[in-house]
Structure 1
Amino acid sequence: MDEGLVTELESAIADSGALVVRAQKYRRGAGPEGAALLGAALALGDEARRLHRRDALDAAAARRLLAEAGALAERLRALLAEVRAGADYRAAVVAHRAGDRATLARLLPAIFAGLEPAPAPGDLFAALAWLRRGRPRPAEEVVGEVLAARAEGLAGEGDDLSPGADPELPAVTLRSDAPPAEPLVLRLPAAALPAPVLRLVESGEYLVHAVRLPAPFALRLAARLESDEDLRVALAPADYTRWRDVLARALAAAGVPVD
């Protein structure tokens, strides 16, 4: 059979799976309609694998499955388009641009799956990226990012896979505890946080929906690097100490206090 046709089928099935994941972040995609589309995507992949194992995936079967994958992708794209064209979503976009937090707190839990209003939290935390390609970032670069955050606020983010946020409704993600394996952490005092805030049920993370979150923060710079196998950082303790000392001096010179 034409290998190009097989590759096209594999790509179409993968695309359908990615669209399912995108849809499931929304309440509509996580409900019965989304569950039916998920079932169709799983069945499509199962049939393709079953035919392949039996050496029965001929050109006719591949074209049939390719057509089914295309139709499924169109249904998923239609669901996503309808969510984003819906009255609640469009009103949320307007409220987001206006900084209308009360309206966002009312609308967003109805739009995104697993997002709920949260009682007023205590201090919240956000890790600041300190590595690039497994090595510490230059001190001047980190200081520049800290100064930009102080002047402009923390940047909201949201892509097609971000839970509780998306490109039109970005959010700043915060935690209720300082990540122990992160040496560079921002602490936002509870009194400085906007109200109300929302929380992701599954992860417990807090979301502040804004393009920028202007809030005073304190910076924590760990004295030593905690061991974390997931980071896979080949950095000797002495090397971390040298980098930390250089960064601490650069922060002090820029007028940034460190906890």
Structure 2
Amino acid sequence: MTASRIAPVRRVTLAGVEAASRAIPVEVPVAIEYNGLGYAVMMATPVDLHDFALGFSLSERVVTTAEDVTEVEAVELAQGWLLRIQIAEHCFAPVRERIRVRVSDSGCGLCGLENLEQAVRDVPRLAPRFRLERAAVFRALGDLGTHQPLNQATGGVHAAAFCAPDGEILLAREDVGRHNAFDKLIGAMAGQGLSAASGFFLLSSRCSYELVEKAALAGGAHLVTISTATSLAVDRAIAAGMTLLSLARPDTVLLFNGEVD
């Protein structure tokens, strides 16, 4: 198990671009199984998985005490990790019913290997219409705060912004959840007929694989995030042909994939 990996990056400043490297957190799908039945797939860093299995079971109210978890086996597979958790029989009946209802409601499989395969699906291959410019990235970063009235009032929400190629912020949305903020932005853009291919996304959050996938599915070929990218986010950006910049600061940003001018 490893918590991080070293990624080759290019350090981007207004003065230019130079080669560098950066440790990024590992993110993989972890399937959770109770007494042989698939329950959920979570995206996680694959360390302390036994602790994760117990804490997840308690916080999900699958069990009420640590003693109800009788065995945990962490199995590494090609697609990720599988946590085989054995729980006391008196705890399992509600879990079985919860799984039955979930399957009948969603029609999707909830079993180990299938879940891991479904967790990381193909992303569309993007064809950028323009090359991102350094000055545009730093302009958008400098202006983002003025588009975060809720965060200015509360100090506790994320922002997702869509920017023109020159860095002008055209639209922004806020939410306590980083995924929610991005979904709101994508929805607002769809309602206004804004094409994601015509600009770039700027997010106030950490860049996990879901945010790369949301950007790709929306047709956005350029993504900038203020916090770091995870290993799977970088892999997905490469697969999509997406320009990905993370750890964005007022004077520097790391280029994980793609090219900038």
What range is the shorter-chain TM-score in? under 0.3
Question: Relative to total residues, which structure has the larger helix share, 1 or 2?
Answer: 1
Question: Relative to total residues, which structure has the larger strand share, 1 or 2?
Answer: 2
TM-score normalized by the length of structure 2: 0.23
TM-score normalized by the length of structure 1: 0.23
